[in-house]
Structure 1
Amino acid sequence: MTNQQQIIDPVSKPAVMASTYGNSTVNSSTTTIHQTNSNSNNGHSTPSSDLTTIQSRPQSFSDRKTIDGSIEDGRRGSEPNNEKSLSRKGSMSGDDDDGVVMEGGYRGYLVVFGGFLIILALIGYVSIYGVFQAKYNDIYGTRGYAQSSISFVGSLASGFQFGFTIIAGPAMNRFGHKITLWAGCIIASLGLLLASWCTELWQLYLTQGVMFGIGASFLNIAATAIPPLWYDKHRGLAMGICFCGAGVGGLGLGFVIPALINAVDIYWTLRIFAIFHFVCTAFAAIVMRAPRQLAGPPVETKREVMNWSLVKDSGFMLWFLCSCLFGFAYVVPFAYVPSFAKDVIGLDPNVQGGQLLAIMSGANAVGRILIGMAGDRLGAIPVAGLSFIGTGASCFIWMFSKTHGALIAFSIVYGFFSGAFFTMIASLINTPGNLFTLPIAGKIFEQAGDYKAMIGYDAAMWFAGGFAFLALQIQQRRVK
């Protein structure tokens, strides 16, 4: 390597949840490539393919001299002395705005807390969406709407949250993370608020589906891009705290939202949650920013978004298949468990249904940690394969549940095993499953007349992914 080396913008990888296979990365957003000078061999690696390459991170943030100026405090070109500010190499010590401690300091802690609040508001809501769907089934089912049509509200929100990153990523590079955060805060909160006055299903598609999903995409990409810039040695801990918001949000909202629906009905619940969502994400938009020391002018570099020769790699295609199947499998129980609890067991979908989703979310948070530790010791691919098979097997508990206790057992087992693969998938790969799986599940339910066939579909997606992972493990051993 020469002294003039290329690295991937450190924003790009966490921002787009890049998926890795071997030495390649499938990126769901435009990545800006920069140049940096380094006088020491600190581990930078060159791209191994024409595909957007996996980031080889320097050993310390002091080695990173430049980053896209567009994310620096969201104010590129807005101040007379901005150019000097962008080129200044601030001290990595100190606790003021111009010299923030990378491994701590009040500003770094606020950034992590802001990321935590965004994930809490976004993923926490997604985790308990089944409570809303159960209520919509009651409201619109009596008007003759099929479950597959009603479930498309949640599918649109989930699909746009991940699929719109192809727009949200370049938008953040162009306009800065402050504008991105505020846009997400306003659009997503407004979508929830407008949904509270909707009287037709197509109106929910536009508000609670498309509007919320687009806003969530902007928030999600900023929340996963900014906190890693403040930490190096403790980066994993910082991001772990951020993503704990998913479990905390699902656990807390699983009790609060059903209680609100029973107390003030779904429309006022949407208004209250819209205000809560705005407060959480607006606070995050205020406190979150990139460290000023990591600012600098970008260097435009021509690159290819996709290396199509990878389709000839059987190992990569197996991994790609697993990622797609995950998207089709993951969200089905989160959407349909409350309805199942009402129709099959006779439970209140708002109270017991919401509690089941809360339990599922809590077990999911624990599973991500413990299964992740197992993956470090035993290998990510075999552990992911076994977790897929374990999740598929748990669906049989759901299929034959006749009591509240059986559903609790299912919620624990499914929640524990199902989240292990979540952070390994690329947003765009996940999008088709998120967008279409709930309508597919709803259509299967309508054709079969009960939940067993629908649950069997979900189990089949998990088993197929698990066996594909095991096939990938065998293929890799043969290659070695």
Structure 2
Amino acid sequence: MSDKPTLMTKHTEFGDEKMGASTPGTLTPQLETETTEPPVGPGPNPDGGTKAWLTVAGSAFMGFAQFGLSNAFGVFQRHYETHQLADRTPDEIAWIGSIQLFLLFSGGLFSGRLFDAFGAHALLIPGAILFTLSLMLTSLCTQYYQFMLCQGVLFGIASALIFNTIVAVPSHWFSRKRALAMGVVFTGSGLGGTIWPIAIARLINKIGFGWTMRVCGFICLGCFAIGNVLIRTRLPRKKPAPWRGLFKPLREPVYALFASSGTIMSLAMFMPFFFLPTNAQRLGASPDLAAYTVSFLNAGSTVGRLVGALGDKLGRFNLLVTSCFTCSLLLLAMWVPMNNIETLIAFSVLYGLSVGVLVSLVPACISQISEPHEIGARVGLNYGGVGLCMLAGPPINGAILNALGDHTGFRYQGVFSGICVGIAACLILAARMKLTTKLKAVV
């Protein structure tokens, strides 16, 4: 059953023309009306056109560089454990990636509001400069605090400016095809997550760590330049809402349940992205194969992000709940008893597929329950909660591994992560049921 009930309308706030079409961007559909007044503002989302698809393509280019490289941190985790930071514990090294993801997501509290007020390029241009600078500076790092400042803090701040913008701007152009548009955007980051680990591992072996990071910086700079040229902001700028209204969306039960699910899920969902290569080495994989497991994970994720486009037909919340429960099941049924490299590779692809569906649908679901001019702020608020728990998730899993040792530690990582993702799935299901109840009440 689709999570978009049929509504008997002719004209809605977002310009649906067909009788029975649901409006994915609002919870308050208008009843049938006849009006000849001209539309106010830029009009309904076009759901296509040259500018719309160029914006999607530009967002995919920037996602390839930014989020794709973020998804490859497991390669750096393994490299640092045996090279520059060999004197540090796994949980200490994981803090670098954790700070990075915390700033990436929680920065949405600020970047989402700035996007609504000033448009995409006011954030994307400085974000591209800072991101490239962080990679260049990381190439010179030798001490733990230097990696933390450059690859953790600076990388995270730059990522917040880029990521929260590229997941919000396509929603200004698409309504009924929103899941498809977001699936294409996140496919770019999935391809990046597939290619970066292999490229980084090979480059480090050939030209060393320093020049590897510089080459990555130049590639990212090219992707950012293309993205900035292609992306277009559609809606007019508006004055940022007062800070006192920042948490106002949390008064809405559907949004509150949805945001809570993301917060809990973030404690666990990215655990394999950090520890898959280390687990592979425990099972006897070669260093190259261990690095490639992140690519297997992201290859599956790339396919999953395209599958997320089916949310426009099957229901975005329906598909999101299914993918979330699948992630929980895979963690408990495959990661916990894992004892050979073949199982690990199978887990990598299947888990990546499920995560890909999940991450591509989150912005589309938020847009479905938000007004267009609030999408940036609401996406940012959701990712702000995600960032807070992301700060703790990887270090918690690293501490479990450090305290219990390789075999037992990896098993309990799966137990902890599987339970957290399962709870998140139940909260999304509750939000989906609440959404359906409210829409039926309106009709």
The counterpart of 2:245, out of the listed 288, 304, 313, is 304
Q: 1:359 aligns with which of 266, 271, 296?
A: 296
Cross-structure match for 1:164? 107
Matches within 5 A, 1:186-205: 186-205=129-148
Q: Deviations over 1:369-398 (max 9, x none)?
A: 436636843x55555444333212212323
Q: Provide the rounded CA distance (Å) in 2 between the counterparts of 1:63 and 1:473.
A: 31
- Offset of 1:209 from its aligned partner? 0.8
Alignment of 1:155-304 (within 5 A): 155-173=98-116, 176-230=119-173, 236-291=179-234, 295=236, 298=238, 304=245
Q: Select 1:389's aligned residue among 291, 311, 325.
A: 325
The residue number in structure 2 matching 1:346 is 284
Q: Distance in 1 between matches of 2:411 and 2:82?
A: 21
Counterpart residue identity of residue 460, structure 1 = I
Determine the C-alpha separation between the residues in 1 that align with 2:98 and 2:26: 30
Q: CA deviation at 1:468?
A: 4.2
Shift of 1:186: 0.6
Higher strand fraction (1 or 2): 1
Q: Distance in 2 between matches of 1:65 and 1:142?
A: 58
RMSD, matched Cα: 3.6
Over 3 Å counting, the alpha-carbon distance change for 1:432 and 1:300 in structure 2 is closer
Counterpart-to-counterpart distance in 2, 1:197 and 1:283? 27
After superposition, residues 108-187 of structure 1 pair within 5 angstroms as: 108-143=52-87, 145-173=88-116, 176-187=119-130
Distance of 1:359 and 1:393 partners within structure 2: 19
328, 331, 337: which one pairs with 2:270? 331
Deviations 1:265-296 (A, max 9, x none): 322211111111111112222343335xx54x
Q: For the Cα contact (< 8 Å) 2:114–2:240, is it kept in 1?
A: no
Q: Percent identity?
A: 24
Indicate which of 331, 338, 362 corresponds to 1:401: 338
* Distance (Å, rounded) in 2 between the aligned partners of 1:301 and 1:125: 33
Q: Which has the higher contact order (CA 8 A, sep 6+)?
A: 2
Offset at residue 114 of structure 1 (A): 1.6
Distance 1:461 1:468, change over 3 A: same
Q: Structure 2: how far apart are the matches of 1:301 and 1:139?
A: 47
- Once residues 440 and 199 of structure 1 are traced to their aligned partners in structure 2, the CA distance between those partners, rounded to angstroms, is 25
Contact residue 375 and residue 384 of structure 1 kept, 8 A? no
TM-score by length of 2: 0.77
Task: Count residues with an aligned counterpart.
Answer: 392
Is this contact kept in 1: 2:179–2:316, CA < 8 A? no
Cα deviations by residue, 1:79-124 (Å, 9 ceiling, x for unpaired) = xxxxxxxxxxxxx9xxxxxxxx98433x555433221110111121
C-alpha distance in 1 between matches for 2:437 and 2:306: 30
CA contact (8 A) 2:124 2:162 kept: yes
- Relative to its length, the structure with more helix (as a share) is 2
Where does structure 2 lack aligned partners over 5 or more consecutive residues?
A: 15-24, 31-37, 364-381
Query: Which letter does structure 1 place at the counterpart of 2:285?
Result: L
Aligned to 1:65: 41
Deviation at 1:459, TM superposition (A): 1.7
Could you tell me how far apart the structure 2 residues matched to 1:212 and 1:224 are? 18
What amino acid does structure 1 have at the position aligned with 2:49?
A: G
